[in-house]
Structure 1
């Protein structure tokens, strides 16, 4: 069954079961590109915005109380129900996101009008004249971008980071006295405790949490009120203030009106900066996951210093094989985020004159990065880090076999003699102590006094 919807271009047939109108239908037909749909988080942010604009317009006497109530009802209905089937548009549409803005306007008008009909009222909502009053796609879309980014970071990413951070804090403390060999350039280096090694990973996460929270200060700035080109045409001078206050109360977030709306419409440097932090996080989790899978390599022909949880069979042909699958998944997430950062950076550079028209691809990639990092980190923590165990026997064997323990002799016999001991031990496949004694540079007592791994894991006066 079809119904007829109209817009300024004429009539369009729309499936009777769908809530959208003519402009959404035209977008569906005109942009059959890809399968990437506008993210749910962005649609919800748009609805929060539309709810707030209705309240603001009513306060400013731009719409009636009844229309305000109908719009608020429609918004709450969308926020409280799974209605994503009515928001079908793909990312690959107009660069301002106009069709998605109108999709939201049309769906809210449809639901709001159903409410008005059921209540026995004659007033009707118009997608442009009422839902979009005092607004343009050019200021609503970037506003929704920032709302969605902030809410998703706070709801998903920061809790995942707090979770993995706590795990690493606990493990760093648990293994603070377990001494192992350090490695630089993929070669043996001087001793380190396993707790110290983990503390390096933990501090990466801790610093990223600080950076992400700093980025929220910039993402909290909203473009609403700029309308078409930043001048605020067709909007009341207090509209932006009222809308932002309403959004802040509804979300319990300290959003604020962007000081310069011309900047807010044409530049997305705040998104670029925030995603730069996500890229830094991707680089850090790539390093952590790679360290762990290298240390767990083997179990007999690799380093074998870690034992990871067995979550699933590792091979379809090799019985008993266990692979570091959680590390592999997280590293794939990391490279996707790095690719997204390139896309966002290039897209944000395309702010021509008063508008950037790469908005949909920016927010699509941004929200994907947030979701992938949050999900990937949470899974990696729960299915790998929490159950990870050190193989203390292997760690001790590697430590005692390392030629780099000779570094402790530098202050006592000098670099050149210490190097000679190491080379002799390696060439003749003997211990450092044997080499030192044969060269006559140290007594056995002196060697044991100086070469003590427990004294090599921190500065000593």
Structure 2
């Protein structure tokens, strides 16, 4: 058996390994685009297989593909969707040509597998052609962005599940810590008391809001430009093809894809992807803030706040014995930094389009996949290896509340701002408790101050009740 086979394209002949399913255009791309050392994302491979499958089904129904060829293409696509032939998709995710190399990689692999299914030998494109059959009524300019949309949706579903689990974990901790009163802080200075449960409930609310924003932005990807072909005019596609191919895509994927209002716009505009990336950046910012808070509250163990304990995951120093670092919060921070940076890549790629096509889609897709997958991984680990294991140091929190000057704010509406300021100043200068100074100066009775400074009164909207107790 020869080790290579000869394939031809418009640039001439090229030797391709005899046993591979890809062809000459993929071989050229492997030489031209040695950029990241990575391969196109498996979700994008499956997205391309979904596009080629639906196109074959639609083109057969419209009479453009013989049944045996359409069936062989569908079977080859189903094998890819089941996870086979993934080692044949080798092109770099960052590539020139607006995704042509990725599209042709899919066309060639599917064609050669379909040829085998029909009893032929790889490379005999008289049986099934990558262009004339697998790519019929398509262009890279509608096939690739549609596959990209499907792939981003699939990965976003995974992130959505991880975020839902994180929200549930924060809500569980909010309930567990609802009776733990601690000092709130503004400007990193003592403010007024707050319940630890209230803080964790706020984290759950923030993540849930970001989750909803993400999925709302993903909804914008459901408009796909199949049938637009090269520039959105639909050249070489039957007018009946766009709604039919989308119908098959929906049946095959369970999605609710739809035709855009304007195919020309949908072919050259990438702002729906920018919206998704923006929602990922907003999520990253919110998660960073939460990770920062947890690191601060867990700081210590002897010389920091030490209001909470984070699960111990690994030794923290090669020189300081006994040190344990908040590594799960730190890795979440670093993941968020990566996502925030990749949002700029998406922005620049989307901005760089000219006229009827944006050729920068490959790097945009690579950035989005990296962001979504990294966040999904980090959020899942953060939930399981950090949030679920957090415990509270209730006595430490109470100690800091009792020693804080900030609680003077609670008596301000009753004794007046001038008296409250005097108490706060004296407490700060002398280190004496606010409670002791208030009693000494006769501003309130013991019963009144016990009521006003009770944990529930300090952490809720209770001014009317506080005033009624002192009248």
- Shorter chain as denominator, the TM-score bin is over 0.9
1:148 is the counterpart of 2:151:
yes
Q: Which residue of 1 aligns with 2:469?
A: none
Distance 1:298 1:35 in 2: 42
The SS at the match of 1:311 is coil
The SS at the match of 2:389 is coil
The SS at the match of 1:180 is strand
Q: Which residue of 1 aligns with 2:26?
A: 24
Query: How far apart are 1:443 and its partner, in Å?
Result: 4.1
1:434 is the counterpart of 2:436:
yes
Query: How far apart are 1:442 and its partner, in Å?
Result: 3.7
Q: Which residue of 1 aligns with 2:16?
A: 14
The SS at the match of 1:63 is coil
Distance 1:122 1:261 in 2: 31
Query: How far apart are 1:64 and its partner, in Å?
Result: 0.4
Q: Which residue of 2 aligns with 1:64?
A: 66
Q: Which residue of 1 aligns with 2:467?
A: none
Q: Which residue of 1 aligns with 2:54?
A: 52
Distance 2:63 2:84 in 1: 32
Equivalent residues in 2 for 1:5-154 (5 A)? 5-117=7-119, 124-154=127-157
TM-score using structure 1 length: 0.96
Q: State which drifts further: 77-86 or 186-195.
A: 77-86
Q: State which drifts further: 125-134 or 439-448.
A: 439-448
Query: How far apart are 1:222 and its partner, in Å?
Result: 0.6
- For structure 1, the residue ranges without an aligned partner over 5 or more in a row are none
Could you tell me which of 386, 400, 408 is aligned with 1:384?
Answer: 386
Describe the shift of the 1:208–1:122 C-alpha distance in structure 2 as closer, same or farther (beyond 3 A): closer
CA contact (8 A) 2:288 2:336 kept: yes
Q: State which drifts further: 85-94 or 384-393.
A: 85-94
The SS at the match of 2:322 is coil
The SS at the match of 1:117 is coil
1:210 is the counterpart of 2:219:
no
The SS at the match of 2:118 is helix
The SS at the match of 1:190 is strand
CA contact (8 A) 2:142 2:225 kept: yes
Aligned-CA RMSD value? 1.7
User: Deviations for 1:281-328, whole angstroms, at most 9, x for unmatched residues?
Assistant: 111111111111111111111110111111222222222211111111
Distance 1:36 1:258 in 2: 32
The SS at the match of 1:114 is helix
Q: Which residue of 1 aligns with 2:325?
A: 323
The SS at the match of 1:77 is helix
Distance 1:307 1:34 in 2: 40
Query: How far apart are 1:352 and its partner, in Å?
Result: 0.6
- How many residue pairs are counted as aligned between the two chains? 459
Query: How far apart are 1:363 and its partner, in Å?
Result: 0.7
Q: Which residue of 1 aligns with 2:468?
A: none
TM-score using structure 2 length: 0.94
The SS at the match of 2:6 is strand
Query: How far apart are 1:439 and its partner, in Å?
Result: 4.3
The SS at the match of 1:356 is coil
The SS at the match of 1:5 is strand
The SS at the match of 2:15 is strand
The SS at the match of 2:119 is helix
Distance 2:200 2:94 in 1: 43
CA contact (8 A) 1:6 1:21 kept: no
Q: State which drifts further: 383-392 or 88-97.
A: 88-97
Equivalent residues in 2 for 1:317-396 (5 A)? 317-396=319-398
Query: How far apart are 1:440 and its partner, in Å?
Result: 4.7
The SS at the match of 2:112 is helix
Query: How far apart are 1:434 and its partner, in Å?
Result: 2.8
User: Deviations for 1:394-434, whole angstroms, at most 9, x for unmatched residues?
Assistant: 11111111110000111111122211111111111111123
Distance 1:124 1:335 in 2: 50
CA contact (8 A) 1:282 1:337 kept: yes
